[in-house]
Amino acid sequence: MNFIGEYADTIRSFLSIFMSLCAFLIFIPKGHDYLKKWQKSGKSVEFSAFIMFFVGAFFFLSANYIVFLKIISKWQI
């Protein structure tokens, strides 16, 4: 049997937890410092929040990439 097809849900859950921890431990403190710098320089905070939204969406999509692999593996059977 296909390894990804059998364990796709388990792999996806562990990968999403890992990517969420990476986002929390790495991105959020850096983003907070980034927002402070933008506020001091007088630039728009909404633009930087917009950028952070897309970075968070990237983490979410990369964590769910295994689901797309599972769908493709079902087509090959």
pLDDT for position 7? 72
Q: For the chain, how many structural domains are there in total?
A: 1
List the domain range (segments joined by +) for residue 55. 3-76
What is the full DSSP assignment across 28-40?
A: HHHHHHHHHHHHH
Residue-wise pLDDT tens digits, 25-67: 666 666 667 667 766 776 666 666 677 777 777 777 776 676 6
- Tokens linked to 48: 């930087």
**Between 26 and 76, where is the model more confident?**
26
Model-level pTM greater than 0.75? no
